[in-house]
Amino acid sequence: MGRVIVVTSGKGGVGKTTSTANLGTALALLDKTVAVVDADVGLRNLDIVMGLESRIVYTSMDVIEKQCELSKALVRDRRVDGLMLLAASQKNNKDDIQPEQMKAICDKLRTTHDFVLVDSPAGIERGFSNASAGADEAIVITTPDVSAIRDADRIIGLLQNARIEPINLVINRFSPQLVGNGSMMDQDDVLDILNIELIGVVPEDSGVINSTNRGIPLVYEDGSPGAQAYMRIARRLTGQRIPIHNFEQKGLLNNIVNWFTRKK
Amino acid sequence: MNSKMANSTVALRAYRDGLHLIIRPHLSITEVEAAIQQEISRMNRSLAGVSVQIDLKSPTLKKEEIELLSSKLQETYDLTVRGVEVADEPVPPPIAAAPTTHVISQTTDTRPPRDSEPSRIIPHTIRSGQTEEFPQGSLIIYGDVNSGSEVKAGGDIVVLGTLRGSAYAGMNGRLSAVIIAMDFAPLQLQIGNYVNRSSVSQEPRGYPEIARIGAEDVIIVEKFVKF
């Protein structure tokens, strides 16, 4: 029986879809069978980020309306074995789907896949309840800024009320330079507020924009700091114990610069 | 409009040394009595057994009138008058020797209202968007109160963690209610009908702090030592 994990954040633009695409691909690269599900009905993006937009014929809406079988709606990613995408309908909106229908799809997918990653839309309304309906675990994405953290905090409360556990945290777009000169929260500040398990820190990586535009998830091109971070998170998801990477800048010069530019 | 009128005539205020009944000058005894009735009914809680100090501004009521008023307070509202003070100036600041507590009733009182009151324990962190409300008594939180969340209590609020959200103590009008947190970085504090935003520090200081209504009818936040 596979694990259904909802990827969510509350706030928009913090990297839910990018993280879903990269974690799904990374898990497939680790020889797991993965289904990524776009739950952002009406505003779908996961297909673009994964570079599969031209191959989508059926969507989850067609499956719900019994226009086609679930297996037919799944789009196979040809670059790696065992990775499937279930796209969201772009014509409908979030109220056209019931949470029970999403749960039924997730429950079916988990019988054939090791991991089912559900890409949640921003917000706390119907889209979120649809995305989390079938999930037994959650990954909350946040960036190290106060508004994203407050929204993440809200989402964590909702996930806890829905008895979704464990809830793991990914801190995205982390910038060691900004932390170094005191203008960005470090990971301890974030964890102090959110108080959940940290599963990974993804550094700010300009390669993400290019990879999104080309539809090639970062993890295919190993080597960039972002790709390595997503690979480490995927490994942790499979149960490997890898210590959290420390992105703090090292070196005597940096220490001296940090000493003088620190706040407080 | 009524409450405003009542405020301009008489006012009940909780200070460090207990409850004060402040009576403004140039009033007849009937006006004062009517205003007291109004002020006490506005508080919607019993003041039975509480002792009160009468603060008069000159020119003042006659001595017989004050005695009459004291006995009326005792009879009608079960309020004990522990002293009468006449002042030319506004009410003096709290007595410096008084302990840093917030007792509405003196230690000699046999029935401090807090004793019989229930408390609720929240055994987890309160996250953004969540609200905990307990009008019947005090709230104790084993965790943080995060930014975007709200805690409200009829009595005191004690946060055994960091207070980052909004806290509203004394929601039924109790001005002696306090807010205590291990780390104090709230968005907004409210005690009774007083709201505080300006003097609230956003950075926790690293020691427990207490918020209560101070002498000048403003919420003050200071290092918490003990009750």
- Residues A229/A243, Cβ–Cβ less than 8 Å: no
Confidence of residue B113 (pLDDT cuts 50, 70, 90): low
Disruptive mutation site among B126, B128, B145, B164 for chain A (greatest number of A CBs within 10 Å): B128
DSSP 8-state class, residue B50: -
Residue B73's pLDDT is 80
Domain span including residue A80: 3-263
For the stretch A73-88, pLDDT in tens is 999 999 999 999 999 9
- Of residues A181 and B59, the one with the higher pLDDT is A181
Min Cα separation A175/chain B (Å): 22
- Of residues A53 and B104, the one with the higher pLDDT is A53
Residue A252's pLDDT is 61
Q: Domains plus CATH for chain B?
A: 3-108 (3.30.750.50), 114-223 (2.160.20.70)
Residues of A in contact with B148 (CB under 8 A): 150, 153-154
B144: closest chain A residue by CA:
A193
Contact between B130 and A150 using a beta-carbon 8 Å cutoff:
no
CATH number at residue A125: 3.40.50.300
Q: Is the pLDDT of residue B106 over 70?
A: no
Kindly report the average pLDDT of chain A as a whole number. 93
Q: Is B148 on the interface with A (CB under 8 A)?
A: yes
Q: Is A162 on the interface with B (CB under 8 A)?
A: no
Q: Is B128 on the interface with A (CB under 8 A)?
A: yes
Q: Is the pLDDT of residue B227 over 80?
A: no
Residues of A in contact with B146 (CB under 8 A): 150, 153, 193
Residue B107's pLDDT is 39
Percent of chain B with pLDDT over 70: 77
Q: Is the pLDDT of residue B9 over 80?
A: no
For the stretch B183-215, pLDDT in tens is 999 989 999 989 886 555 567 788 999 999 987
Residues of A in contact with B130 (CB under 8 A): 157
Disruptive mutation site among A150, A158, A191, A196 for chain B (greatest number of B CBs within 10 Å): A150
Q: Residue B168: which H helix or E strand, with range?
A: strand B166-169
Q: Is the pLDDT of residue B104 over 60?
A: no
Kindly report the average pLDDT of chain B as a whole number. 78
Percent of chain B with pLDDT over 90: 33
**Cβ atoms < 10 Å from Cβ of B24:** 16
Rounded Cα distance, B128 and A201, in Å: 23
Domain count, chain A: 1
Rounded Cα distance, B100 and B169, in Å: 18
Residue A235's pLDDT is 97
Burial of B3 (0-12, 13-18, 19+ CB in 10 A): exposed
Residue B97's pLDDT is 44
For the stretch B32-81, pLDDT in tens is 888 888 777 776 666 777 778 887 766 667 778 888 888 888 887 777 88
Place of tokens 């974690």: A23
Min Cα separation B210/chain A (Å): 21
Residue B87's pLDDT is 65
Would you give the end-to-end CA distance of chain B in angstroms? 37
Convert A79-139 into a string of H (helix), E (strand) and C (coil).
CCCCEEEECCCCCCCHHHCCHHHHHHHHHHHCCCCCEEEEECCCCCCHHHHHHHHCCCEEE
